[in-house]
Amino acid sequence: MAVVEPIPQVLPLTKEEASRTCPATGLRVYAGAQALTLANAVAAVLALALGGLFGGLIGLSRSPALEFLGPSTYYASLTAHGVAALVLWPVFFEVAAMVFASSILLNARVYSVALGWTSFALMVVGALITFVSIMSGEATVMFTAYPPLVATPWFYVGYLLFAVGALVAIVNFCMSIVRARVEGVITGSLPVITYGVACAAILALLSILSGLVALVPALLYSLGWIEGLDPIVYRGWFWGLGHTLQYVNVVAMVVAWYGIIALAYGAGPVNQKFTRIAFILYLVIALPVLGHHFLVDPSLGTGVKFVGGTFMGFALGVPSLMHGLAVMGGVEYGLRRAGSTGLFGWLKRLDWTSYGTAALAGSLVIFAIGGWSGTVETTLPLNLVNHNTMGVPAHLHSTVVGGMTVAFMGFAYYLVPILTGRRLWGGKLATVQAYAYTLGLLVMITGQTWAGILGVPRRTQSVSYGGDVSTGWEASMNLNAVGAAIAAPAGALFVVIMVMTLVAGKKTSVPEELVPSGTR
């Protein structure tokens, strides 16, 4: 249990804001902060529901045995899946984490609740506009929207509004921390969670700006105000910092890892200095990383591709590996101090029926697989046998879904009870959810990896090519569909648990009910 810092009245409060003390963590929770965090978290879960729905549909449809979506429906669904699952879900959740880490976690108020709601409104309106435009069939361009492929202007308008909303949230995040310092609410070093979120926020700020530079000309092109748009230039701006934007997701995932071990096991990073250096390394290396997306493009020279893509890609593995050790080591350290002996005795002390343990283990294992596939794909010559094959979805589902989404789910299982004062609905159902989701993803990723090795193309509605499909293609894509058939309902179960907790979770102030321990 954390120590509650007394809040000195250094500056007069301009407005009385209601607050309460969280019974589980002892944190001071202000009303504005709680509402904003919850709002963004709810929006995130709804986005995940949509992303998962379309993901399940396209995963099943790509099974040669099923193939029930025609081209225009399939490609529109794929676009919807990409936007909802890769843009809306992570960013809404990360904004929720930003609000939490800059206010509640610091026993502080949000810098400007009005600004927070403005950011939320922009993001919700932007998301709706883009989503509706995709559903109308006028924006079947994938979430990447490479020109000369073009969508209705509304698609880009929504994207831009959403991006601006996220930028406003980042400003609010920074100002909240500044204000907490100025008012003396926090002294000493930032908690590691806030530190990590700050790294994510900096990466997000710069990569969203780069994305805007790509999207604005695309909007002008869609409106007909400019003529040709070189897709290589667009790709340069979109993916120039586009993988950096993915690292916002990685950093947020790592933050969620620390959040789970803190709340489930009362454990911290095995070493503060090690963890903080690892977070800073993400900033230093993820900012200049570019080009795993350009490795087989007819544009950049080999030197730039190698240093910017391959070498920086290898270097990016360093902080992730460090955090892997820090997170597991933190848990092990605490359990050894509690008496575990032997090399792996501490693993037996973990409660494997706890949803925190299930989510953390699933996330660590699948992200580890993703780290391997990413390193293979970022290696310049190896990209020849990977680019645009199913190997790419295999990698990104390992990292973004198996890694980030599972970690966010686990973190949400603790965060939402804290924010709402309600016990998580369903009890051990959450544990079943986490394990089932992990299993489904493992099957799906195996199918996708196998398909990638066989050269099956990604983003393709059907690979029968008139009935002349190569052997092994059917089997691998059928396996992918089996995985999707397990994962999609398990993902839906998460949404159900979240909604039910919000509306029907038992109100309680017993710490063990809000934040149940993850050790025996």
Could you say which of 463, 488, 493, 497 contacts other proteins (CB under 8 A)? 463
Stretch that binds other proteins, among 164-172, 400-408, 433-441, 449-457 (CB under 8 A): 449-457
* Residue 322 Cβ vs other proteins, minimum distance, rounded to whole Å: 7
Q: To the nearest 10°, the Cα dihedral for 492, 498, 500, 505? A: 150
Task: Give the C-alpha separation, 97 to 103, whole Å.
Answer: 10
Could you say which of 298, 339, 467, 507 contacts other proteins (CB under 8 A)? 298
Stretch that binds other proteins, among 109-117, 173-181, 296-304, 488-496 (CB under 8 A): 296-304
* Residue 368 Cβ vs other proteins, minimum distance, rounded to whole Å: 6
| Per-position DSSP letters for 323-340, written without gaps between them | HHHHHHHHHHHHHHHTT-
* Cβ contact 295:387 at 8 Å: yes
371 binds other proteins (CB under 8 A): yes
7 binds other proteins (CB under 8 A): no
Window 178-197: residues binding other proteins (CB under 8 A): 186-193
Interaxial angle between packed helices 406-420 and 473-504, expressed in degrees from 0 to 180 and rounded to the nearest 10: 10
Can you give the C-alpha Rg of the chain in angstroms?
Answer: 22
Residue with tokens 């308008």, as numbered in its chain:
157
Window 58-97: residues binding other proteins (CB under 8 A): 71-72, 75, 78
Window 322-361: residues binding other proteins (CB under 8 A): 322, 324-326, 328-334, 336-337, 343-347
The 8 Å CB, 24+ separation contacts for 381-389 are 383/292, 383/295, 383/296, 384/296, 385/455, 386/452, 387/295, 387/296, 388/457, 388/458, 388/459, 389/451, 389/452, 389/455, 389/456, 389/457, 389/458
Window 411-430: residues binding other proteins (CB under 8 A): none
Nearer to other proteins, 261 or 404 (CB): 261
Residue 136 φ then ψ, to 5°:
-75, -10
Could you say which of 150, 202, 396, 443 contacts other proteins (CB under 8 A)? 150
318 binds other proteins (CB under 8 A): yes
217 binds other proteins (CB under 8 A): no
220 binds other proteins (CB under 8 A): no
368 binds other proteins (CB under 8 A): yes
Stretch that binds other proteins, among 38-46, 121-129, 370-378, 405-413 (CB under 8 A): 370-378
311 binds other proteins (CB under 8 A): yes
Window 97-116: residues binding other proteins (CB under 8 A): 105
Task: Give the C-alpha separation, 325 to 167, whole Å.
Answer: 32
Could you say which of 28, 81, 292, 305 contacts other proteins (CB under 8 A)? 305
Task: Give the C-alpha separation, 142 to 448, whole Å.
Answer: 19
Window 226-255: residues binding other proteins (CB under 8 A): 228, 230-232
Nearer to other proteins, 121 or 315 (CB): 315
Task: Give the C-alpha separation, 260 to 408, whole Å.
Answer: 9
* Cβ contact 78:144 at 8 Å: no
Size of the site for other proteins (CB under 8 A): 109
Helix residue ranges, H only, 224-309:
231-240, 242-265, 272-286, 302-304
Nearer to other proteins, 114 or 465 (CB): 465
Tokens of 452: 């990638």
Nearer to other proteins, 6 or 224 (CB): 224
